Amino acid sequence: MAKKRISTATLFFIFISFIALCAIVPVFAPLPSISSRQHHHAHHSHSKKVNKKFEIANDMFWKDGEPFRIIGGDLHYFRVHPEYWEDRLLKAKALGLNTIQTYVPWNLHEPAPEKLVFEGIANIESFLNLCHKLDLLVMVRPGPYICAEWDWGGIPSWLFSRNPTPKPRSSDPAFLKLVERWWGKLLPKLVPLLYDNGGPIIMVQIENEYGSYGDDKAYLHHLITLARGHLGQDAILYTTDGGSRENLEKGTIRGDTVFSAVDFTTGDDPWPIFKLQKEFNAPGKSPPLSSEFYTGWLTHWGEKNAKTDADSTAAALEEILRKNGSAVLYMAHGGSNFGFYNGANTGANEADYKPDLTSYDYDAPIREAGDVDNSKFNAIRRVISRYSSAPLPSIPSYNEKTTYGPIHLQRRSSLFDIFDFTNSSSSFESENPMSMENVGQFFGFLLYVTDYEARRGGRNLSIPKVHDRAQVFISCSSKGRGTRPTYVGTVERWLNKKLSLPEYQCHSKINLYILVENMGRVNYGPFIFDRKGILSSVYLDGNRVQGWKMFPIPLHNLNEVPNYNRIMQASYSAFGEISTSRKRLMNKSENTSKEPAFYSGHFLIDKTSQVKDTFLSFRNWGKGVVFVNDFNLGRYWPLRGPQCNLYVPAPVLKQGDNFVVIFELESPDPNLLVHSVDEPDYTCGFNGMNIHQL
């Protein structure tokens, strides 16, 4: 999606614009009369009713020989639990939508080279067939780059482990070869689902807002050739670009090969942009389409939760629909960034790093947990109902939320207890720090370990380039394995600073531990080449530190089968006695330390009828990631905010015991409690942080 914001001034004057535009002669003709429809049929030699045909002619969309207006919305299958796909799609229909638009994230479907996944939340065919069953058309956006506030815009991070690294979003032969292999598996699955073949897919997008990034026409032409080779010559391909001449010049393919759609800031006058759009389409082939009409906005950690005005949003949509324009709501339903797949943005440079929340609520009309009892849903539905050719379906019943009370957890193991630092079999060794991708740790965390000579006085530690957040600890080798590492500070990508290491009484070398978190790869802009880990040398008092061990921390990601390695065993040690490298009493002081540790607990649901949606509140916790019944819900960070609570879909839960595992990086709740609550909460954090409110 384009990184644009709704202008407050523009929204303030939306009604003035509306009145003024009523007096302007429309650029595009209204939907045709019966006689003009007959002219269209004669022009195309259609003497009988067309059977399953979607096409573009006379600057309109035509479905089975009848004029058609796309009133669509983005709803991403990979951000919604599969058991809730139908619920969310029915609510989209009740909103008045006739079309669903979805991205396809390459990295979810190919998490490792040639390891293809099309099951579970990645079962795109099931999702598309469900759309078809519910009489919803589909616009598919297979990338290979998708943006979407998704890790690296959907490009697999294992590309970074290749030497040399292919250059994404370019005609680099190494990159194109990988795209050919990926699309060679994906696109054939779409062929029987194309509208002309009896399925729901009316259009397939090429790349995503490429004009905002580059101008490699050879790359775009190669993607078009590749798509045509799989989908056939009749499939409608389209591009989406920001509604400026520069973006359209760089991101579109002139002529009738590919249909060029536009997006723009909600509240902007759409019709001059639609007029510009016509210049980049063949004559008669430019139905006005905003393929990303923004219903809300994204939120980064440390910002105030983004909100947009319901009535202004609905009025801006009506400005498109009242003159026969088409629009796709971005988003109709946002969902959640489960697992480690959230993306990030940057500002003026790559150090100005802004990771996205776990929630992708987006202030959309259908909220993260599927709620539609809100002013934005109602305002948009009222507008759409005025332009719908049939009465809108009734609104599905409310998904009940519940609370399961406080969940008591126990501290199971320190992260440092899990590793045998004298055993090299579980680590990678190198003179200089290696990136996460180069050790195969594509998401989550990597622990870097080295040592340095003890001496009188403190030391200054410098890590010029760390992506994204490094917690630093030291311990004394000579004091034996019972010595706890001491936390000395955190180095953050966006506030990179030197750390002062305290004087440490030690008769041998001092161990240095640096735990680095990958908080999500940049998905938009010039700094998307976002490797993770320590990406520079590390310096003590200006001298380079050499001789490193890298220990991967294998926590499973979304849609991955849990790997019950030693780390996961330690996490579940509450439910079966296991040994750790040290057995000792867990005292209260450990619960308030800044030592990363695993905590686990469980709660009981007596009856199947009591299994309902809930939220886990992390107020009084620090920062970490949580798993419920082995499902990776994502990250929490209430200290930074604004998100306090993580959404738990009912299908993740079950009758009987439900297990919670938390990897807390800093300081847990002193009472080791997590509360199950029945509503979201975006009021955490903000202390000293930049606030962004639309």
Tell me, what DSSP letter sits at residue 37? H
Q: Which residues of 280-300 are buried (b: 16+ CB within 10 A; e: fewer)?
A: bbeeebbbbbbbbbbbbbbbb
The CA distance from 213 to 167, in Å, is 13
* 300 touches 520 (CB < 8 A): no
Q: Token pair 């590793």 is at which residue?
A: 419
Q: What are phi and psi of 679, to 5 degrees?
A: -155, 160
Element (H, E) at 377: helix 375-387
The CA distance from 382 to 53, in Å, is 30
And the tokens for 176?
């194109």
Burial category of 240 from C-beta neighbours within 10 Å (exposed 0-12, middle 13-18, buried 19 and up): buried
Cis geometry, peptide bond prior to residue 355 (ω within 30 degrees of 0): no
And the tokens for 140?
């598919």
Tell me, what DSSP letter sits at residue 238? E
Q: Which residues of 311-321 are buried (b: 16+ CB within 10 A; e: fewer)?
A: bbbbbbbbbbb
SS3 for 443? coil
SS3 for 651? helix
Nearest alpha carbon to residue 286 among 250, 261, 257: 261
And the tokens for 139?
């616009």
Q: Token pair 């040994």 is at which residue?
A: 579
Q: Token pair 């650029």 is at which residue?
A: 27
The CA distance from 509 to 452, in Å, is 5
Q: What are phi and psi of 598, to 5 degrees?
A: -105, 140
Q: Token pair 């080449």 is at which residue?
A: 529
* 601 touches 409 (CB < 8 A): yes
Q: Which residues are catalytic?
A: 209, 292
SS3 for 423? coil
Residue 146 CB contacts under 8 Å (≥ 6 apart), including other chains:
103, 104, 105, 106, 153, 154, 208
* 2 touches 209 (CB < 8 A): yes
